[in-house]
Structure 1
Amino acid sequence: MSSIVVNQLTAISPVDGRYWDKCAPLSDYFSEYALIKYRVLVEIEYFISLTKVPEITPLAALNNERMHQQLRTIYTNFTQDNALAIKQIEKTTNHDIKAVEYFIKSILTAAPYSFSEAITEFIHFGLTSQDVNNTAIPLSIVKAVDEVIVPALDTAIMQPLQQLATSTRMVPMLAHTHGQPATPTTVGKEFMVFVERLQGQIAQLQACPHTTKFGGATGNMNAHFVAYPTVDWIQFGQQFVTSLHPRLKRSRFTTQIEHYDNLAALFDSLKRINTILIDLCRDVWTYISMEYFGQRVIKGEVGSSAMPHKVNPIDFENAEGNMGVANALYEHLAAKLPISRLQRDLTDSTVLRTVGVPLAHSLLAFKSVQRGMSKLVLNEASLQHDLDQNWAVISEAIQTILRREGYPKPYEALKELTRVSGAKKVTAADLHVFIDTLAVTDSVKQELKAITPFNYLGIIPEF
């Protein structure tokens, strides 16, 4: 066995090593410590809920707010030493949830609780492991999405993207379709495309249902019902799950495990957000290569070990790479988790432990995009140069007005003029000479000559 101590230099995963400082916020939701703590939380809150069931008379004396708050300190004050104690128990049980159960029982039989065995046997009462796991994990996920991922999207992506779009709203830019010069647009509008796309997908992300499995060994509350048949365990289960988080809902019909369909939808939603951001990164990377944007030089940074002049768009490249890794994992999670043989197999267990990894790569990518955006400097001279070199793009405008005027075959006339080969470019003078040959009124000719690549921008609404 290796004697190496795990730290940022020895960790196998880069999100726990090189990039730990950027991914650390997710440790509170997806580390082994966090998973154990959320399991303890579920067990304690379940025990508290049982004390409120009148039929369970051994627990009646515990149904008061003072005792409930005291019980909650078991998880609110949960430490890494507590987690290590549970891991030590697991060495004997070879079962992680049973270790949690035994740990809680050991706490409750000691002072200040000093509960009898008749009381502590209601810890994990009627449950199977997946009642705990499939409640703890969705709880950690919904909290991580709400408290880390969505705020990071807003701060790192949406705010700077909106600011850039607004500040460049009326800056003309030559569009490129199929890599070829096309009808002019504005810089701001092109970034608003990404703002709108992301707004829609973030809304869908926040609307994704978060469901749990809480129904005993094979989902039918068998043990609960046989012990206390007069209790409405279905209502109890739903109320318990929702008490943990208002966005959690209990799946009514399950096998031994949650079916994970909604979790798959969540991963698909996160994947779409990343896909949009990959599209953004590639566009910005291309704009930088076209010199539409420069990049602020950060003192001390090196662009190339061999070429001193280089300022590479590494932030967008790093973001693209990390989102690719995240999407590969999201895709596997979404495809694998909803599939389980009969009432369950164990393939979901090890896969669920990786949930934090793609979220960490996504978070890392968001921060890289934010850093890249902060370096962008608009190069209006380059934008204007490209527009001035491509007067042919206003042929669309000319032929459309000629259609309005009933001019015969205007598209064909413009095609003959503007589809040139080699290095030849159609100039403003070429177009004006062409306009002068047209059999249209002088006012229409003046209208046509007033159109330039700099003002043929369409409708630019307020952002």
Structure 2
Amino acid sequence: MTLTPLTAISPIDGRYRKTTDQLANYFSESALIKFRVYVEIEYFIALCEIPLPQLKNFDSAHFSSLRNIYIDFDEQDAEAVKLIEQTTNHDVKAVEYFIKNKFDELALMDFKEFIHFGLTSQDINNTAIPHSFKLAINESYMPVLEELLSLINKLVSDWAQVSMLAHTHGQPASPTRLGKELNVFVERIISQKNQLEKIPFSAKFGGATGNFNAHHVAYPEIDWRAFSNNFVDNKLELNRSQFTTQIEHYDNFAAQCDALKRINNILIDLNRDMWTYISMNYFKQRIKEGEVGSSAMPHKVNPIDFENSEGNLGIANALFEHFAAKLPISRLQRDLTDSTVLRNIGVPMAHTLIAFRSTIKGLNKLLLNETAIQKDLESNWAVAAEAIQTILRREAYPNPYEALKELTRTNQQVNALTIAQFIDGLNISEDVKQEIKSITPSNYTGI
């Protein structure tokens, strides 16, 4: 069966392919191979730049041709590597042989044994994968997150003066402003985004058990630690972990997963609030001609975008949580469990992007129903009790909380009239009475 969006097992590559296809540049098998080739080529060039004695005659004019191996890397090249892997049964060794074949084509066969010199496969994987992850975060994830933040910020501004009844424990509470409530999410997301950006993209580079054994035995006079720090930190623009086993310890990667999960949790909170406001009729939704909300009930316009986002964020978080808990743990100097897990890092990233796009779509469909919002405020004059009893406290009025409690908890409807009558019966100055009477559910919104 030919793989198409209709035959793909995962909806990431099926139903949602248009949203996630950009991630193939970072997390597909072909992309992983390309980034491995990139590390191998740049490592060889770095060895030439020391230079190693056997490479001192390597003409630097060939560097551009070598870099073109990964710059021009295409699907045909990826298939060539996979064909080699059928024999080697080792993915990184297949990359090494692929590059050696390229050296033969470039008449550089005398130097090809310095491809992958002194390295183990994890020196390649634990640099290629964080490199691709960093690119995906910077080039794919962050732009969509910024788009979402920009949209929420616009709504914060648009709805800054919209008074709204708040609800704590599901019950009417002191009024607020709709724009301010959305600004809560802006501040939370920015705070977690800033934390995410401070976490280094860590990489391992140090040979079979992290000690440069092979490098040191061949060239003991070279400071391999300084060389590798410079190569990883400056050339690959990652952060080399100084003491490792055969693999990166993934502590910073786990921190990144936790940070991504926290941002997703904030958006789950936002989605649920928007869903609830829609159910309260505070928002209606723009209807696209021809769309159907229910297969049976013609009147329905469901908040499906917020629901879709919430569901995808849940899947993403389950995987991020597993990565954060699993990856920092490896038996002794290495087991293989990290390899198969890391191959799936694109999955939660894809579900996250799907969710971001769904939330953006949902927010763009919202139509403010100020009539319903105002009606809810007018139906809940009891929320002004907090304001009244606080002013009465200021005026040293005896037992103001208890007086308002008796008024608001009776079975009678509390409205503007009953509040006014209550105020008129208080033994306070006329100025204070007028001050209290100026308070309404719509203007008692604080700062």
**Which of the five TM-score ranges fits, normalised by the shorter chain?**
over 0.9
2:427 matched to 1:439?
Answer: yes
Shift of 1:395: 0.5
Task: Calculate the TM-score normalised by the size of structure 2.
Answer: 0.99
Whether the 8 Å CA contact 2:100–2:109 is kept in 1: the answer is no
User: What is the aligned counterpart of 2:16 among 13, 19, 28?
Assistant: 19
2:63 corresponds, among 60, 68, 79, to: 68
Q: Is 1:102–2:97 an aligned residue pair?
A: yes
Deviating above 6 A after TM superposition, structure 1's stretches of 4 or more consecutive aligned residues are none
2:227 to 216, 225, 236: 236
Residues 1:174 and 2:165 are matched in the alignment: yes
Does the aligned pair in 2 maintain the 1:37–1:78 contact within 8 Å?
yes
Q: Corresponding residue for 1:158?
A: 149
Alignment partner of 1:115 is 2:112: no
* 1:127 is the counterpart of 2:83: no
Q: Could you tell me whether the CA contact under 8 Å between 1:29 and 1:144 is conserved in 2?
A: yes
Amino acid at match of 1:93: T
Which of 199, 211, 217 is equivalent to 1:226? 217
CA-CA distance at 1:244 after TM superposition: 3.7
Give the secondary structure class of the aligned counterpart of 2:57: helix
1:390-429 → structure 2 map (5 Å cutoff): 390-421=380-411, 424-429=412-417
1:148 paired with 2:165, answer: no
- Alignment deviations for residues 166-209 of structure 1 (CA, whole Å, 9 cap, x no partner): 10001000000000000000110000000110010111111111
Are the aligned partners of 1:52 and 1:63 in contact in 2 as well (CA < 8 Å)? no
Q: CA deviation at 1:419?
A: 1.5
1:72 to partner: Cα distance: 0.3
**CA distance in 1 between partners of 2:172 and 2:23 (Å):** 44
1:292-351 CA distance string (max 9 Å, x none): 000000111110011111111000000000000000000001100000000010000100
Is this contact kept in 2: 1:268–1:330, CA < 8 A?
yes
Alignment of 1:203-222 (within 5 A): 203-222=194-213
Instruction: Read off the aligned partner of 1:339 and give its amino acid letter.
Output: I
SS at match of 2:446: coil
Aligned partners of 1:212, 1:62: CA distance in 2, in Å? Answer: 28
Q: Give the match for residue 343 of structure 2.
A: 353
CA drift of 1:24 comes to: 0.6
Q: Is the 8 A contact 1:36 1:83 kept in 2?
A: yes
Deviations 1:66-88 (A, max 9, x none): 32222100000001010000000
Q: Structure 1: which amino acid aligns with 2:39?
A: V
Percent identity for Structure 1 against Structure 2: 61
Equivalent runs, 1:5-404 vs 2, <5 Å: 5-54=2-51, 56-62=52-58, 64=60, 66-110=61-105, 113-117=106-110, 119-155=111-147, 157-246=148-237, 248-404=238-394
Deviation of 1:63 after TM superposition, in Å, equals 5.4
Letter matched to residue 91 of structure 2: D
Q: Helix, strand or coil: the match of 2:172?
A: strand
Inter-CA distance 63–173: structure 2 relative to 1 (3 Å threshold): farther
Shift of 1:116: 2.9
Distance 1:433 1:355 in 2: 64
Indicate the larger mover: 359-368 or 230-239: 230-239
Helix, strand or coil: the match of 1:62?
A: coil
Q: Which runs of 5+ in 2 are unaligned?
A: none
CA contact (8 A) 1:216 1:256 kept: yes
SS at match of 1:288: helix
